[in-house]
Structure 1
Amino acid sequence: MAKICAVVSRKGGVGKSTIAYEVAQCLGAVLVDLEWDGGSVSRAWGYRAEERARDVLMAAIEHDRAPRPLTGFRKPDLVPGSPELVDVGLDPEAWADLLTTWAGEWGREWVVIDTHPGASASTHGAMAAANVVLVPTGLRTRDLDAVEQIVAEAADYPMVVVPNMVPRIPPAPEIKRLGAMVHGTPVRVGVPIPHVSKIATRKRRMAMSAEDPTPRALEDAVDGYRRLAELVKEYGA
Structure 2
Amino acid sequence: MIVAVCGGKGGVGKSTLAYELAGALDALAVDADLAVGDLPRGRGPDLHDVLAGRAAPREAVRGGPVSVLACGRSLAGARAADLGRLEDAVRRAAGDRDAVVDCPTGLRADTGVPLALADVCLLVASPRRWALADAVRTRAVARDLAAELVAVALARVGEDPPTAVVRATLAAPVTPVPETPALATTLDGESSRPVTERAPETDAAAAVRELATSLRACRPYYDGVE
Native 8 Å contact 1:8 1:117 kept in 2: yes
Checking the alignment, whether the CA contact within 8 Å between 1:151 and 1:181 is kept in structure 2 is: no
Aligned to 2:223: none
User: SS of the counterpart of 1:26?
Assistant: helix
TM-score by length of 2: 0.79
Q: SS in structure 2 opposite 1:82?
A: coil
Deviation at 1:34, TM superposition (A): 1.7
SS of equivalent residue, structure 1 residue 5: strand
- Matched residue type, 1:226: R
The match for 2:71 is 81
Match of 1:195 in 2: 179
**Corresponding position: 1:163 with 2:154:** yes
Secondary structure of the corresponding residue to residue 117 of structure 1: coil
**Pairwise CA distance, 1:169:** 1.8
Deviations 1:25-61 (A, max 9, x none): 011111111224567122xxxx36xxx5x54222222
Q: Name the SS of the counterpart of 1:143 in structure 2.
A: helix
Shift of 1:81: 0.9
Question: 2:27, 2:100 within 8 Å by CA — same for their partners in 1?
Answer: yes
- 1:11 pairs, out of 6, 9, 16, with 9
Structure 2 counterpart SS, 1:162: strand
> C-alpha distance in 2, partners of 1:114/1:86?
16
Count matched residues: 210
Give me the whole-angstrom Cα distance separating, in 2, the residues matched to 1:39 and 1:65: 19
Equivalent AA in structure 1 for residue 139 of structure 2: V
Q: What's the counterpart of residue 103 of structure 1?
A: 91
Call closer, same or farther: CA 1:90–1:120 in 2, change over 3 Å.
Answer: farther
> Considering only aligned residues, what root-mean-square deviation do their CA atoms show, in Å?
2.6
Which residues in structure 2 correspond to 1:57-206 (within 5 Å)? 57-63=47-53, 65-68=56-59, 69-72=61-64, 75-83=65-73, 84=75, 86-88=78-80, 90=82, 94=84, 98-100=86-88, 102-104=90-92, 106-155=94-143, 156-159=146-149, 160-171=151-162, 175-183=163-171, 188-200=172-184, 203-204=188-189, 205-206=192-193
Match of 1:210 in 2: 197
TM-score by length of 1: 0.76
Question: Retained in 2: the 8 A contact 1:25–1:210?
Answer: no
Q: Percent identity?
A: 25
Give the direction of change, closer, same or farther, for the CA distance of 1:86–1:137 in structure 2 (3 Å limit): same
User: Which 5+ residue runs of structure 1 have no aligned equivalent?
Assistant: none
- Structure 2: where are the runs of 5+ without partners? 221-226
d(CA) in 2 for partners of 1:126, 1:88:
17
